[in-house]
Chains A and B, each alone.
Chain A
Amino acid sequence: MPKVGVYICHCGENIAGAVNIEEVKKFAEKLPDVVVVRDYLFMCSDPGQELIKEDIRKGLVDRVVVAACTPRTHEPIFRRACEEAGLNKYFFEMVNIRDQCSWAHWHEKEKATEKAKQLIAAGVAKARLLEPLEDRYVELNKDVLVIGGGIAGIFASLDLANAGFKVYLVEKSPSIGGNMAKLDKTFPTNDCSACILTPLMVEVANHPNIELITYAEVESVEGTVGNFRVKVRKKQTYVDWNKCTGCGACLNVCPPKARVPDEFNEGLSLRGAIYIPFPQAVPKKAVIDPEACVSCSGRWFGEEPRKTKDGKPILAPCERVCPTGACSRDEPRDPNGELIELNVGAIIVATGYRVMDKKNFKEFSPDSPNVITALQMERLISATGPTEGKLIVPSDIPKYLEWKKRVEKGQEAELDVRKPKVITFVSCVGSRDERYHTYCSKVCCMYMLKQAMLLKEKYPDLDIYIFFIDVRTPGKDFDEYYMRCRQLGVKIIKGKVGGVQRLPDERLLVRGFDADLGKPVEVVSDIVVLATAIEPNLDLRDLARKLGINIGAEGFLKERHTKLYPVDTMTEGIFICGCAQGPKDIPDSVAQAKAAAASAMSLLAPGKMKVEPLISEVNEEKCTGCGICVPLCPYGAIELVEKNGRRVSHINEAKCKGCGVCTAACPSKAITLHGFTFEQVLAQIRTLAKGGVVE
């Protein structure tokens, strides 16, 4: 006869506040085979666990039922306690009377108590039938795939590589660096973004343990923890990267009709169809954007060149000027690029974010070139931006570029551009707004203050207004930063901006409400900067589906547990970090990246991994070899094999996740899911059906 011990947790007031513990205790004492019932304030604490261990050591109990919180976080803790006391840890059953009873029925205390009784009875019914099981081990591949080459992906890769792990870093654009490469300076220390980022990018490129795969995207992911098989599509660059030296000779010869908005400058300037993303790009290699290229020589890759009258071949300008032949169009190129396969043990997702486009906000005159996003402002004040950091109104950028071209050609030209006198910042554009995103984008307050401070320090006569709903500066040295900004004379107005209207001279009429004055106010501005919300990348949902990880309601990747497992996902072996998980600043992104790297290391370092034995097993005597289970398995763990002259199902232990689909589907009940056998589950159901009576 099994000897069942029932341990009821108060969880402080979390459970005891709604569930009458004494009543439940009296009920549990009368259940069959129950020999001990105890309760404690926090069963998971050391003294709480000791209660269980003591009973096991004394031989009082040999089956343990803990009625407490969720098995998701606490089952491993109690299992370990059982094991330490000398009991097979699978003689343990957990009943969740917090999430399912007290929390769900906080205002119906009697019902909460009744439900707790029934669930405990069902737990006891199952516990009587538990079997001892042994842990198993699987071999782990120690290589890691990092997806995304922004600051988070860079740090995760470097930490892993420095610890001796082989890293594949996949980045979808031609260069790593991400959004941080676009920033001018960074708060709260105002150090130059490029100066702190570029050395790290170079380190990644030169690290012997990092294989950098840029201009590539993850196409499919198969397998499970320790053994992921990942297909990566390397996009067609149309430039031979083995020959390209990044000299940039091709960039200026690309004709005006092939010029498209430059992603790096957030559309404030144009780039050619052949381009290097930015001067400090890593790797510094050119690519041809096939959608922008106009084939100005009339020749696509692999086609015969047209000939001049005297028989000379007509080459494309980029092809003509390239000193190494990297741009040659002699050979055909596969537009689909190349598919490569990687085998890794863990994956870190660090795909970052995008900022909302100003076009979404019709009330702010998005058609005006002088209404810009904050990321565009970064480009406007950056030394690598379209104006080399000279502050002019964006509507005059074309004039500036024209002037620059003339000067470069040695022509005389006068620069006639307008310098702004008034700049207005608008906060929470798309954030904290139920029409778009209800969340706070977290970094906007600080970067608006930063931009205002940088501008005000450089141009003290500039009038700067910032319209805030709330100024949120909780962070190390952040509020001091805010106060410094106020002292510089930046005008901070508490209130919303209702609209921005274009004036005929391309200035802007900003109309807001000053909550302190209680009055509407108007500011005529030269530039309006919209702090548009941080959003998940468009293809994040698709990537999450490929990886089998979850997306939260707001569209960012969902961590396994907000507090305790912030960089883990519900899929073992896949970790997340940076803004793909939610809006955050650079210090937080770096911290998370390092956390993700450390988590991947602690998973992979032992080289093998303990796996719970809660998996399915085929009884080959009963199996008829019908094969129904094979296509149903979501993990591809089942195949039909020949045994003793007949076909039977075989389950790959390393792949089985114990989901139970095959067990439920098997017409001859030949498959057992350990830990959830038919007898065990049916005993639970029968008990519940009889209102808590254990047969």
Chain B
Amino acid sequence: MKYGLFLGCNIPFNRPDVEVSMREIFPALGIELDDLRGQSCCPTWGTLPSIDVVGWCAVAARNLALGEERGIDLMTACNSCYGSLNEARHKMLTNPEIMEKVNEILAKIGKKYEGRAKCRHVAWVLYKDVGLEKLRESIKFSLEGLTVAVQPGCHFLWPSKVYPDKEEDPFNPKVLREICEALGADAPYYSRLIDCCGMGALRSTDPEKSFKLVKDKLECIKEEIDADLIVTTCSSCLIQLDDAQEQLRKKGEINFSIPVFHLVQIVAICMGFDPSRVAGICVTPRDEVIKKILENEVR
């Protein structure tokens, strides 16, 4: 099994430790990675998707075509990339007019996109391609005794019709919970599980609303399930929950601290990779929970 590693912008610029995690865990789990040389911005929300549908699709199609040329699908750890690429693909597949215009543009650089290559999410690759059984067998440390609050994030779920892999009930998503449970954790439901983290365009255009969303979410996690850590499938959610949490603390709006990890980071730690390399960058301290995990050696 081989995937084109679609890094996007957020991960290499802000959280390169997430990239390290992916480059460690997937080869170890039998998934080959292709660097997909020439990849660009997906393009992300708030840029082309807001102003030019065909332009959006053309940029997305160029990225997808890189995989199509190699006969492989793309794989990403960023929900924005996952959403933008798949929503663009859905538009092209359901609207021949857009597809035609996109290919006229791609022809100028000697490329074309036929709609075959798609973008998979790392969580679904872990869940479906690797499988929970193999994941369970591959970990050296377990999350036993720890309560995880999962954060699948909006673009992991919505709009459900555009995605190659679908939750049975996107209002009550189970995949991320099941992966965390396979790692040994308790990953209960909480009422604001599918709420937005407040990142996206809101963080830059209306910080007040953005902070309210993240505060409601964090308080709910604290009050309802008192989680030891938060695990998300999205690099944007990771940054928001980690960084905004610190700002809320500084402003005195919350008085607790819950470390946040990307799913691939927590898998990497459980598989025994060096935490300082795979989960070294954060604002909300992680040391204590990492220490707990490393005490939980699987025999």
Contacts and interface: CB of A to CB of B under 8 A. Distances in A.
B191 A502 contact: yes
B224 interface: yes
B152 to A, nearest CB: 14
B127 interface: no
A318 interface: no
A509 B191 contact: yes
Interface in B176-212: 189-194
A363 interface: yes
A501 interface: yes
B171 interface: yes
A504 B224 contact: yes
Interface string A337-374: 00000000000000000000000001101010000000
A365 B194 CA distance: 12
A503 interface: yes
Contact of A502 (B169, B170, B189): B189
A675 B189 CA distance: 73
Given A362-B169, A362-B171, A363-B171, A503 B189 contact: no
Contacts, number: 24
A12 interface: no
A662 B171 CA distance: 58
A261 interface: no
B191 A362 contact: no
Contacts of A504: 190-191, 224-225
A237 B77 CA distance: 61
Chain B interface helix/strand/loop/mixed: loop
Interface in A474-512: 499, 501-504, 509
Interface string A496-536: 00010111100001000000000000000000000000000
B224 A503 contact: yes
B191 A501 contact: yes
B247 interface: no
B133 to A, nearest CB: 28
Contacts of A503: 191, 224
A367 B168 CA distance: 14
A479 to B, nearest CB: 36
Interface in B61-75: none
Contacts of A501: 191-194
Contacts of A363: 171
Contacts of A502: 189, 191
Nearest to B216: A522
Contacts of B171: 362-363, 365, 499
Contacts of A362: 169-172
A254 B171 CA distance: 39
B151 to A, nearest CB: 15
A499 B193 CA distance: 12
A549 to B, nearest CB: 37
Interface string A76-111: 000000000000000000000000000000000000
Contacts of A365: 171-172
B33 to A, nearest CB: 35
Contacts of B192: 501, 509
Interface in B115-137: none
A314 B67 CA distance: 73
- The residue among A499, A501, A503, A509 with the most chain B CB atoms within 10 A of its own CB is A501
A504 B193 CA distance: 12
A503 to B, nearest CB: 5
A365 B190 CA distance: 12
Nearest to B190: A504
Nearest to B189: A502
B48 to A, nearest CB: 28
A46 to B, nearest CB: 57
A281 to B, nearest CB: 38
Interface in B142-175: 169-172
A606 B225 CA distance: 76
Interface string A51-77: 000000000000000000000000000
A96 B246 CA distance: 77
B26 to A, nearest CB: 32
A501 B194 CA distance: 9
A503 B189 CA distance: 9
Nearest to B170: A362
B154 to A, nearest CB: 13
B169 to A, nearest CB: 5
A424 to B, nearest CB: 15
Nearest to B193: A501
B118 to A, nearest CB: 25
A504 B220 CA distance: 10
Contacts of B190: 504
A251 B44 CA distance: 64
A365 B192 CA distance: 12
Interface in B32-65: none
A503 B223 CA distance: 11
A498 to B, nearest CB: 11
A363 B173 CA distance: 12
Nearest to A364: B171
Contacts of B189: 502
A367 B170 CA distance: 14
Interface in A130-189: none
Interface string A112-145: 0000000000000000000000000000000000
A502 B172 CA distance: 10
A367 B191 CA distance: 13
A501 B224 CA distance: 13
Interface in A623-664: none
A509 B169 CA distance: 18
A509 B193 CA distance: 12
A365 B172 CA distance: 8
A502 B190 CA distance: 8
B147 to A, nearest CB: 13
A617 to B, nearest CB: 56
Contacts of B225: 504
Interface string B215-226: 000000000110
A81 B189 CA distance: 75
A499 B154 CA distance: 14
A501 B195 CA distance: 10
Nearest to B224: A504
Contacts of A499: 171, 194
Shortest 8 CB-CB distances between A and B: which pairs? A501-B191, A362-B171, A362-B169, A503-B191, A363-B171, A504-B224, A509-B191, A502-B191
18 contacts: A362-B169, A362-B170, A362-B172, A365-B172, A367-B172, A499-B194, A501-B191, A501-B192, A501-B194, A502-B189, A502-B191, A503-B191, A503-B224, A504-B190, A504-B191, A504-B225, A509-B191, A509-B192
Interface of A: 362-363, 365, 367, 499, 501-504, 509
Interface of B: 169-172, 189-194, 224-225
Given A499-B194, A504-B224, A509-B192, 17 more contacts: A362-B170, A362-B171, A362-B172, A363-B171, A365-B171, A365-B172, A367-B172, A499-B171, A501-B191, A501-B192, A501-B193, A501-B194, A502-B189, A502-B191, A503-B191, A503-B224, A504-B225
